[in-house]
Amino acid sequence: MVSSVLMNADSQETAWPWIKQHWDDVEKKITMSSGITIVSGTQNFCSAEARDDVQRFFSEHKVPSSERALKQAVERIDSCISFREHQQTNLAAWLGQHGSANAAGR
């Protein structure tokens, strides 16, 4: 459940701070697989700040057997950051060429 909330872009800004704040309670309830799932749940974050926060948090709060999941999550976050940066440039260029024509047609 926690992983699903983290993976949802609409709830991760609330869920991630809550998890960090309540980590002692969360950690008491996780199993080997659910701990890995929580780490993996951060893979849909999409900013350098979030990536750095995830790495910092899980380096300070070790989750057993989650090293691979953390590495994969960071790789996915990095991919999202790169994709977003590339597409923002493309979108801005497209809007610059077509934005005023579309607004005038309304």
Task: Give 39-91 pLDDT, tens digit per residue.
Answer: 999 999 999 999 999 999 999 999 999 999 999 999 999 999 999 999 988 88
**Cβ proximity of 72 and 38 under 8 Å:** no
Cα(36)–Cα(34) distance, integer angstroms:
5
How high is the pLDDT of residue 47?
A: 96
Cα(17)–Cα(24) distance, integer angstroms:
13
Rg (CA), the chain: 18
Helix (H) or strand (E) holding 102, with range, is helix 67-104
pLDDT > 90? residue 92: no
Position 104 confidence tier, pLDDT thresholds 50, 70, 90: low
Domains of the chain, by residue range, sit at 2-98
Q: Give the CA dihedral 52, 54, 59, 60, nearest 10 degrees.
A: 110
Q: What is the pTM of this model?
A: 0.81
